[in-house]
Structures are given as C-alpha cells and as structure tokens.
Amino acid sequence: MSWEPLDLSGRCALVTGATGALGEAAARALVARGARVTLAAGSSGPLEELGAELRDGGADVELVARRPDSEEDTDAMVAAAVRAHGRLDLLVTAAGTNRVHAIEEFPVDDWETVMDANVRGSWLACRSAGRQMIEQGEGGRAVLVSSTRGRLGHPAGYSAYCPSKAAIDGLTKTLACEWGRHGITVNAIAPTVFRSALTAWMYEEEGRGREVREAMLARIPLGRLGEPDDMVGPLVFLLSEEARFVTGQILYVDGGYTAG
C-alpha cells in the first residue's frame, strides 16, 4: 500500500530541545516534509552538527543555541525564526529533563530543575510563539510533549516528572481554549518509554535494564518499547492542515500502555 507523507511545505517551524532524541526526530521529519525550521538547543556543538547535516541535504535551517530558560531566550528563538523565515507557523516544545529520587530524599533544587525545564520552558516557548502567531493573524499549530506519566503515577521516584507532565496536559487544554479564537491549535503527544540517551539502559540485554523492560512490556499490548520515529507520524499529523479541527488533545503514543 502506498501513501503520501503529510505536507508541510512552506510552513515555518520552531523546535526547542532540537538535539534530544525527540527534538531531532521532529527536526528531520519537518525538513523532510518541506518545512523551514529554526532549531533551538543548549548544546551548541551537537546543534551545529545537526544543522550542517540538514543544510547539506538542502534544508532551510536556522540555529539558536539557547534553552527555553527565560523570556529573553524564547523571545530570541522566535525573533531568529522570523528573521530567517519571515514568520512562525508551527511550534514543537521538545525540551525537557528528569531527576529521580524518592520524595523524602528529593533535593528541592532537583525538583525545581524538572519543573522549570518541563513546565516553565514549555510555557515560555508557547507564550513567545503564541504572541507571534496571534500578531500574524493566520493561525498556527503548537505541539507540546507530555508523557504517559502525566496520566499515570510511577513507583520509583517520579514526584517531579509526573506532576510536570500533568501540568503539560493542563497547559495544552488551557491554551487550546484560549487560542481557539485565533485559529491556533494546541495539542500534545504523550509517549511511553522511547529510546534516547536517558533511557538507553532500558534497552540493554543484560542487567537491571532487561528486568525493567520486561516489566514494562507486560503492560504494552504491541510488545515493544518506543523509538523516536514512532512519534513522527502523530507529531506531523498534529502540525498539518489535516488536524485543523483537532485541538486540546493528548495523543498517547505508547503501544497501548494506557489502554489497560
């Protein structure tokens, strides 16, 4: 069966956390579908490498070596996108982090780091990008990154991560309501565990990774953990014109993990 990929030709996108597993997959998917992209990340070396590779393939790419840590940072990202491409149509907030401790031993600084990276950074990126989209007056698309852990708890030290992703769900729904009159849709993708630098240990064949993976697989009807490319189809759909009547939704990309 043949199919055509969803087309994003001429659309101008900003991706935060562009050197992470999901951010890089998003960047490559957007470029492959014709978008002009601005990639933001705090790691300038990997960002330059990714940008050079995409440009060598003919992509129109702007780079911003910043994390969404402050209003100044996110305003600079949006300004760079507009300077490079004339406008901003699409936003993907893929920046984030995790710290794992039992709550009775959880350093407050670590808890704040997770909340700042996952919630405050997403809020700031939406705020800066939303202002630009509203000023343009032609609508737009925003896709945030949640998690199955925004819906489900976790027994192993996730008292920062789970609340942070539940907050992303709330932010997604709130902005969908707030921005509907501007023609801006806001949705989130919510993966279960997918392969990244942070989760590589769960994919190993020996040691604790295998034990934890087997326990996870018992809950996943499709029988495997995720890969970054598994997020691409849902993400591109939510950014595309085909999703013009979809907003305020949390799309679980989890192999059925939350179905049981």
Active-site residues, by number, are 161
115 neighbors 160 (Cβ within 8 angstroms): yes
124 neighbors 70 (Cβ within 8 angstroms): yes
Phi then psi for residue 101, to 5 deg, are: -155, 150
Lookup: tokens for 231? 């997020």
Calculate ∠ Cα 26-30-31, nearest 5°. Answer: 120
250/149 Cα distance (integer angstroms)? 12
Phi then psi for residue 113, to 5 deg, are: -60, -45
Integer angstrom CA distances of residue 91 from 33, 35, 66, 94: 15, 12, 15, 9
Phi then psi for residue 35, to 5 deg, are: -75, 155
What H or E segment, with its residue span, contains residue 186?
strand 184-191
77 neighbors 64 (Cβ within 8 angstroms): yes
